[in-house]
Structure 1
């Protein structure tokens, strides 16, 4: 992997896209995780205006501290970086008071987790519209096109995706090259949507290296019967998420009206 060339390519791509779109730069939601750290650093390297936004909603303290550490690093390294905090906890609590909270608790919890992501998307687009910026997505390839591990119209609602053609392991390689804080590099990946420290692996049942392997096997046309033991279990997990989340990865279906009806 030619890390430096990939970094330069993405930075050039971001610059060209922003120039053609006639915008001032980018807005990035900072979570304290590796994906948002790498994405925001790549945006910062363009020299264009970059607004980093923290959006805590009952956030775990470890996520908050890592996010603040990263923002401080960016501001000290890149003069084009600014930051702001939008505390969305009161907004989230107000929303909960206005909607029905009936149903199985695990389903309610998941729906509310997705609501957090959608509140954050709305916040990012508020700042994007206010300051003529593009919302830079932070999804990687295995999340966006493998298991669909993101919220539709939440963290999946973006203007452009700088790292969506990179596997998680490749994002870590870029993080190392870009001097992302060790606390972020070592932290277990987490979507931070439940207000606790549960990791992505806790939710999915497989690690990112395992999911990357399963994604490559799937692309190669393999079937679950081709594997045994843990490999078969991981492949099943990948296929389950991949099939269930096709609605996120495929274009929105359109009901096409026959010409004879028009």
Structure 2
């Protein structure tokens, strides 16, 4: 499937809010430019009317214009690779592409081949989840990465001591990219990646930690299923939703027996960490 590249000419002050708006429409990755913003979405998910509605909304506030074109897969990759910059989480995690030199100042060096899958680290929610992972136990655990994207959350999990990784995504290119990134990082953990949803995870397969950076609606639907695969005392990190949606996520998790440990926000996006009760 091809991707659509949307070029938005707009003042820099509006970039963050436009990323949030376009993320709700299914846009997966973004690149800031001197003129404004480039946004990428799978061709089948692109809705011209929805995009024009957003442009019309912001025309009341600032000068804005949008153009778009279809990109073949290889061309999309070339554009993304040219603009990809390393991502840093505090002074501990650095996510870099293979063409960037390593920086020994960081504790955890994560390698990815930046492609068209979501989760390269630039999105607020990916950063939020990685930041939470740094203070969660991983040593000796089996970890599940729901909607794995590039697989960097699982990769960080392995570097933090996880011994087993399961990742899955509905996008075949995300699955392909995750496998490639697992191999590049030479992980010692056992790994499995498949195309599909939580419904394909075998009944009774359990995890000490679950990473679910998806979106509000999927989380509300699937949290009860995640809990069935979570070991007593295990943790669940949820993200992919706005601050205004956080109460709904918390209510769903708590009603299904989880305990909230903490939450965090970044530019209107949120993450919440839960724990499953231990067996007395």
Greater helix proportion = 1
Which TM-score applies when normalising by structure 2? 0.32
Greater strand proportion = 2
Which TM-score applies when normalising by structure 1? 0.34
Q: Specify which structure has the bigger relative contact order, considering alpha-carbon pairs within 8 angstroms and separated by 6 or more residues.
A: 1
